[in-house]
Amino acid sequence: MSDETPICSAKGCRADAVWVLAWNNPKIHAPERRKTWLACEEHREHLSQFLGVRGFLKDVVPLTEWTSREDSGGLSGGQV
């Protein structure tokens, strides 16, 4: 386990991430590929909508659940 706390992907936000948004852009990603954004409680809806209106959003799962998945493939993180 890493002791580094994942941070929300929303621009300028330094809050601890609670949610993982799994998404895929069919124009540039293979269908099974999953990009991930992290979100705090406050930004989950905002980021979900951003991805949702573009048809990119595939899954929103609690961070604890995501990290317990064996095939999570790690978190890309990064700022939006």
Which residue lies nearer to Zn ion by CB, 33 or 80?
80
Rule CB under 5 A: which of 15-74 touch Zn ion?
15, 40, 43
Region of 3-11, 19-27, 58-66, 71-79 interacting with Zn ion (CB under 5 A)? 3-11
The one-character DSSP state at 62 is E
Which residue lies nearer to Zn ion by CB, 20 or 40?
40
Q: Find out whether 16 and 40 touch, Cβ atoms under 8 Å.
A: yes
Which residue lies nearer to Zn ion by CB, 26 or 42?
42
Residue selected from 8, 20, 60, 63 as contacting Zn ion according to rule CB under 5 A: 8
User: Within the chain, how many helices (H) and strands (E) appear?
Assistant: 2, 3
Q: Collapsing DSSP states into helix, strand and coil, what is residue 26? A: coil
The one-character DSSP state at 27 is T
